[in-house]
Structure 1
Amino acid sequence: MDTSSLAAILMPIALIQFVGWATPGPNHLTIITASVTAGRGAGLRAAMGIATGALVWSLIAVSGIAVVFQLVPPLYFGLRAIGAMYLIYLGINAFRAARRGGVFKLEADTTSPATREPFRTAFLVMMTNPKAVLFFGSILTAFIPPDGPQWLMVVIAFQIGLVGAVLNAFAALFFSSPPVMRGFQAASYPMSLLFGVLFIGLGMVVAWDVVGDFL
C-alpha cells in the first residue's frame, strides 16, 4: 500500500472523528468540569481518559468485535442503559454541588467524580457513550477496508487514539485557561445547574431511546 492510498483511508477517518469531537456531548462536559474546577492537570487527565476510551473502541472496531453488538442486541441495550444511568448520576452530582455553592468553586475532594477522578470518569463516560457506539460500531467500520492488512488496522486504531488525545487536550487547555476558569467560577451556581440539566438531559434522551427500542 503506497502513501497516497494510506492517506485516502486515514484522512476521512480523521475528518469524521473531528466532526464527532466538535459535536457537544458528555465528553466535552466531563473535560470542562475537570478543567474549570481542578485546573489544567485534571483537565488533561480527563482528556486522556476520553482518548484512551477512543483507542479502546477503535481496537474493538478494527478487530471486528463490534459486529457482536449487532448479533447480540442485549449487549448494546445494556451498554446504553449503563451510559444513561451514569450521565444522570453525573447530573445529580452537579445539582448537589450547586447547593454547596457550585461545582466550579468546590475543592477536588468534595465535588463531582469528573473532578475527583478525572481520568476514570472520562474513560467511563467515553466507554458508555452511545454516540461512541454508533461511531465506532457503524460509521467507522464503513471506512475500514475489509481486506486491509493487520498493520493497517493497528495504524487506524492508534491514529484515532492520537487524534483524540490532541483534540481533547486542546479543549482541556482552553477551558483551564485563567480567563475561562474565572468566568465559570464567577457564575458557578448557574453553570452548575446548567451542567446538571445537560448531563441529566443527555441521560434521559439515551434512556428514552433505550426504552423505545425495548418496547
Structure 2
Amino acid sequence: MLQTFLIVLAGVVAAQASPGPNMFAVIETALGRGRRAALLVVAGIASGTLVWAALASLGLGAVFASVPALLTVLKFVGGGYLCYMGFRGLRAALRGGEAALRAETRAISDGAAWRRGFFVVMTNPKALLMWMAIATFLFGAGLGAVQVFSFGPVVAVSATLIYGFYGIMFSTGLASRGYARFWRWIETAFGLAFGGLGATLILSGARDLRP
C-alpha cells in the first residue's frame, strides 16, 4: 500500500504545484490581504481535500462510470472557465487593462477567507479530475474505501505545504513590488497556463463525444 500511496502522491504534488484555481485564489489573496488571509484560504483548500477524499471513497468513480455524460459536461464547463481566465490574463498583458490576477484589498473575515478556499477547491475542475484519477488508481490497486479515504489527510498536508508556500511568498512586500513591476509577464504566464489547461479539458471532453 505504501508504494501505491507514494506513486499517487507524486502525481498529486505535481498537480498541486502547477497553476490552477487553487493557486490563483491563494496568490491574489496574499497579494492584497496578507499572509493570515492567504493561509486561511489554504486551510479551506486543505479542508476541501478531505471532502473530496470522502466522495472518492464512497464511489465517486462509480458515479461517473455509470453517468459518463456528467463528467463530459464538467470537462467542458471547467475547460471553458479556465480558458476564460487565460483569455483575461493575456488580454490584460497585451492591452494593459484590468489584470486577471487582482490583489484584493477589501477587508475579509477569517471565516470568509476559509470559505473561499473551500469553495474554490470544491468547484475546481482540476481537483475533480485529480480525485477521479486517485480513486481509479487506488481502487484498481486493490485498496478498500477506508484506505482510499485515508489518502485524504496526506493530500491535505501536501496542499497545506505547497499552497502555504505560495501564500507566504506572495504576502511579502518584495513579491508585491515584483508583481507591480512584472505583472504583464506574470499575467502572460498565467494566461498561457490556464488556457493550456482549459484547452486540454475541452479536448478531452470532445474525445468523450466521439462514437
The answer to which of 183-192 and 55-64 deviates more is: 183-192
SS in 2 for 1:66: helix
AA aligned to 1:177 is: T
Name 1:70's counterpart in structure 2.
65
Q: Report deviation, 1:184.
A: 0.9
Given that 1:80 and 1:128 are in contact with CA atoms closer than 8 Å, whether structure 2 keeps it comes out as no
Q: Distance in 2 between matches of 1:136 and 1:37?
A: 31
1:41 equivalent among 36, 39, 43: 36
The two structures have a TM-score, normalised by structure 1, of 0.71
Alpha-carbon distance change, 212 to 99 in structure 1, aligned in 2, over 3 angstroms: same
Say if 2:102 is the partner of 1:108.
Answer: no
Q: Distance in 2 between matches of 1:11 and 1:18?
A: 10
AA aligned to 1:80 is: K
RMSD (Å), alpha carbons: 3.4
Alpha-carbon distance change, 121 to 74 in structure 1, aligned in 2, over 3 angstroms: farther
SS in 2 for 1:99: coil
Structural mapping, 1:101-140, within 5 Å: 102=99, 107-109=104-106, 122-140=117-135
AA aligned to 1:63 is: L
Per-residue Cα deviation, 1:126-176 (whole angstroms, up to 9, x for no partner): 3444443333213444235646474x4443223322332232212211222
AA aligned to 1:108 is: T
Q: Distance in 2 between matches of 1:104 and 1:71?
A: 38
2:74 equivalent among 72, 79, 85: 79
Over the matched positions of the two proteins, sequence identity in percent amounts to: 28
Name 1:51's counterpart in structure 2.
46
Q: Distance in 2 between matches of 1:194 and 1:149?
A: 39
Given that 2:58 and 2:145 are in contact with CA atoms closer than 8 Å, whether structure 1 keeps it comes out as no
Q: Report deviation, 1:22.
A: 3.1
Q: Distance in 2 between matches of 1:209 and 1:153?
A: 25
The answer to which of 119-128 and 82-91 deviates more is: 119-128
Given that 1:51 and 1:168 are in contact with CA atoms closer than 8 Å, whether structure 2 keeps it comes out as no
The two structures have a TM-score, normalised by structure 2, of 0.72
Name 1:112's counterpart in structure 2.
none
Name 1:99's counterpart in structure 2.
97
Name 1:210's counterpart in structure 2.
205
Given that 2:53 and 2:148 are in contact with CA atoms closer than 8 Å, whether structure 1 keeps it comes out as no
1:29 equivalent among 24, 29, 34: 24
